[in-house]
Amino acid sequence: MTFPTRATAEAAPGTPNPVRVMIVDDSAVIRGIETRILESEPDVKVVASVANAQLALSQLARTPVDVMILDIEMPVLDGLSALPQIRRIAPQTKVIMASTLTTRGGEISLEALRLGAIDFVPKPTVGTIFSAEDFKRELVNKVTALGRVRLPGAHAPQRTPAQKTRPAALPAMSGPPPKLRAATGTIPTIIGIGSSTGGPQALQTTLTALPASMQLPIVIVQHMPPTFTKLLADQIARATGRPTCEGQDGMPIAPGRIYIAPGGMHMCVERQNGHGIIRLNSNPPESFCRPAVDPLFRSLAAAYGPSALVLILTGMGADGARGAEVVAKAGGTVLAQDETTSVVWGMPGAAAATGMVSALIPLGEIGHRLGDYAAGRAR
């Protein structure tokens, strides 16, 4: 099975319509470094570079922008305060927040996602950025992947025929729609969820819609750095009223509880004396991610077999697709968010391309459908 890669997802070099980027940061050094990184890509063009969000708003009113890299703390007007105005002026501009990896940075980033930002990148340290290959890769991948994505529910801008390419990081969908696998009918005893770009909002929508009677344990991998995952767990607990925490090594898996993989660690599950427990490890990243979805899904297949149900939500790349195949081959059930409601249909699209997905579900229906599966009503 071949999965989409950046090379196949992006427009070819020399495209007449590069991804248009605006960089907003009060540090001229950071703006210069990010500009050099992005403009080294043949299909990216930095069309504006400004020192605060007020200047960004003025520039945005007259300059079309596909992606904005937005700093949080700036003089005159900060990024968080400007977000609602940015979304109003340019609803198809994808905003990526530049965030510090601190508790405060995480809290602001999660609030920015709630206000309409699409994703975030860790804000680099000026003294180390030239050797920060992870930052360069993450910045380039997110900008190129999001640059041509149409946001769900927003009016798509008019494009010339040359611009009518598929969004980046999506599987090629020419030809027939994905073939779905018949549901097994086995009632699940545990749910595993994987998500990335757009995931925090999709998780909250899904988990708050779960029926109160649905008390299966839920284990989640959301691509996020340390600190942020603890804040995400707290946010989900408040929104859902369900006990939610970062997973800890050796922690028993209990009904009705939600466990989030901690940033920087892979989270897996195993069975001991018939009971599930959480296992953490620092094995090498998979799909450039730690935590990654594939290790969790593989462990669910090994520990729970046919009674494992896994769900892949919006996200870039293909993490989770191979793990989903393992779950399906063990007799478990695989579900995925549909393309229309996904911010990026990379991860769910890659899973659908395996032929192992039993249903592609709009985001607003997923919580109720999970309740149906848990109650044995889904076929």
**Angstrom distance (rounded) from CA 14 to CA 18:** 8
Q: How confident is the model at residue 176 (pLDDT cuts 50, 70, 90)?
A: low
**DSSP secondary structure string, 28-54?**
HHHHHHHHHHHHTSTTEEEEEEESSHH
Q: Are 95 and 117 in contact (CB under 8 A)?
A: yes
pLDDT in tens, 118-175: 999 988 665 544 446 778 888 999 999 999 887 765 433 333 333 333 333 334 444 4
Catalytic residue among 25, 66, 294, 319: 319
Bridge partners, 121 (sequence order): 98
Sequence-ordered list of residues with C-beta below 8 angstroms from that of 91, at least 6 positions apart, any chain: 151, 154, 155
pLDDT in tens, 272-331: 998 999 999 999 999 999 999 999 999 999 999 999 999 999 999 999 999 999 999 999
User: 331: phi > 0 → left, psi -120 to 50 → alpha, else beta; which?
Assistant: left
pLDDT at position 16, please? 61
Q: What percent of the chain lies above the pLDDT cut of 70? A: 87
**Angstrom distance (rounded) from CA 297 to CA 231:** 23
Same fold, 6-150 and 190-374: yes
Q: At what angle do helices 321-329 and 293-304 cross, to 10 degrees?
A: 10
Closest CA to 332 of 373, 288, 367: 373
Catalytic residue among 195, 196, 299, 307: 196
Amino acid present at 213: S
Query: Catalytic residue at 196?
Result: yes
The second-level CATH assignment, the architecture, of 190-374 is: 3-Layer(aba) Sandwich (3.40)
Catalytic residue among 43, 109, 223, 358: 223
- Tell me the residue length of the chain: 379
**Angstrom distance (rounded) from CA 367 to CA 175:** 30
Q: Checking DSSP bridges between strand 275-281 and strand 266-272, what pairing results, if any?
A: antiparallel
pLDDT at position 110, please? 94
Q: Are 54 and 24 in contact (CB under 8 A)?
A: no
Start-to-end CA distance of the chain, whole Å, equals: 26
Q: Where are the domains of the chain?
A: 6-150, 190-374
* Both structure tokens of 348: 């769910």
**Angstrom distance (rounded) from CA 189 to CA 207:** 17
pLDDT in tens, 61-88: 999 999 999 999 899 998 999 999 999 9
Given a cut of 80, is residue 2 above it in pLDDT? no
pLDDT at position 88, please? 94
The second-level CATH assignment, the architecture, of 6-150 is: 3-Layer(aba) Sandwich (3.40)
Does pTM top 0.85 for this prediction?
yes
* Both structure tokens of 59: 């520039």
pLDDT at position 96, please? 96
